[in-house]
Structure 1
Amino acid sequence: MGKSGVLLTLITTTVLTSACYPYDVPCPMIAQASVVSVTVAREYAPQVKTLHLKACQDGACKEADLELYPGTVSIDQGCTSDGVCSATASPDGTLMGNLMLDSLTESPMALTASGTAADGSALPVRTLDFRPRGDFPYGEHCGRFVSASVELNAEGLRPRV
C-alpha cells in the first residue's frame, strides 16, 4: 500500500469514527434558582404597598415579605445588517417580587399572599394551589428547569403562563 492508500485509509477511518460519536451541544452555564416569582398586575399594582408570600411544598414552608420592583417589557430595537440584534427594557406598570426557596419541584404547591394596600389597610388574603412547571428550554441534553410563576390581581392569584 502506497502513501496515498495509507492517507485514504486514515481519512476514511477518521471520518467514520467521528461520525459514531455525537458532538456535545453546549448548554448555557445558568444555575436554576429555586424561587416563586410573583407579578402584580398593572391594574392592581397601584393598590399594593407591601406583599407577603408563603409557599408550602413537599411538607416544607417558606415565607417572607417580598421586595417589590417595577416590572418591564422588552422593546425590540431591531437588527443590524451584520446580524447584531438589541432590545431595551421599558416599565410596564407591573410590580415583581421573588420568594427564594430551599428547593423547587414539580409537586403541588400551596401559596398564600397577603400584604398592605397603598392606603395602609390590609389586602385581601389570596390563596392558590398549583403545580410548578418543568421544561427543557435549552434542550433535553441540558436538563429540566422547574419554574413557579404566579400573577396577583384584584381577583386573586393565578398561575402565570
Structure 2
Amino acid sequence: MGKIGLAVTLAAMTSLIPGCYPESPPPCPAIAMAPVVSLTIPASYVDSVKSVRMKACQDGTCTEDVLELFPGSVAIDQGCSPDGVCSATSSPDGTLHGSLFLPTLTESPIDATVSGSAADGTALPVRTLTFTPKGDYPYGEHCGRFITANLVLDAQGLRQG
C-alpha cells in the first residue's frame, strides 16, 4: 500500500473512533425551578384588574398572598451576524404576571382560589380551580424533572396555562 492509500485508510479509521464511545449528555443548566404557582392575566383582561389575591393548597398546606403583578413580554429575534452571534430583545406584550411562592411544589393536585379587586374598585368574581402541576424534562432526563404550575385568569374564569 502506498503512502496515499495508508493516509486514506488512517483517515477513515479515525472518523470511526468517536462512534465507538458513548456520547456524554450535554451539561445541565445551573438553575433551579422556584416552587411557585404562576398567574398570567392576558392583555384583553388587564384593564379590568387592579389587584389579585391567590390561595393555593397542596398536600394539606395552604399559602395565600396578594400577588405583585409585573408586565409581561415576548422575545423578539434580532437575527444572527455572519460570525454566528445571535441576539434577541424583549418587548412588552400587554400581559401581567404574578407568582405565589409555596413551601414546596409537587405533582399533587392544587386547589387554587383567585380573588381581587377590579379597576373600578369592585370585587372581582372569586374563581376556583383544582389542577395538577405539569412535570417535564426541558433539558433532558439527566438534568432532572421540572414541575410547573401555571394559571391564566381572564373574563371567562381561571384555567390551567
Query: TM-score per shorter chain, which class?
Result: 0.7 to 0.9
Distance 2:87 2:160 in 1: 30
Q: Given the alignment, which residue of 18, 21, 25 partners 1:19? A: 21
**What is residue 42 of structure 1 aligned with on the other side?**
43
Structure 1 residue identity aligned to 2:106: T
Shift of 1:91: 0.8
Shift of 1:23: 3.2
TM-score (norm 2): 0.85
Distance 1:110 1:118 in 2: 26
Distance 1:78 1:159 in 2: 33
Distance 1:89 1:154 in 2: 27
Shift of 1:19: 3.1
Shift of 1:41: 1.1
**What is residue 109 of structure 1 aligned with on the other side?**
110
- Is there any run of 5+ residues in structure 1 with no aligned partner, and where? 1-14
User: Where has structure 1 moved over 2 Å in runs of 4 or more?
Assistant: 22-25
Cα deviation per residue 1:39-59 (whole Å; 9 max; x = unaligned)? Answer: 001111111000000001111
Structure 2 residue identity aligned to 1:52: R
Distance 1:150 1:80 in 2: 38
- The aligned length equals 144
Shift of 1:87: 1.1
**RMSD of Structure 2 on Structure 1 (CA):** 1.6
**What is residue 59 of structure 1 aligned with on the other side?**
60
- Is there any run of 5+ residues in structure 2 with no aligned partner, and where? 1-16
Q: Secondary structure at the match of 1:30?
A: coil
Distance 2:38 2:25 in 1: 32
**What is residue 128 of structure 2 aligned with on the other side?**
127
Structure 1 residue identity aligned to 2:120: D
Distance 1:39 1:106 in 2: 20
* Identity among equivalent pairs (%): 60
TM-score (norm 1): 0.85
**What is residue 79 of structure 1 aligned with on the other side?**
80
Structure 2 residue identity aligned to 1:105: T
1:118 paired with 2:125, answer no
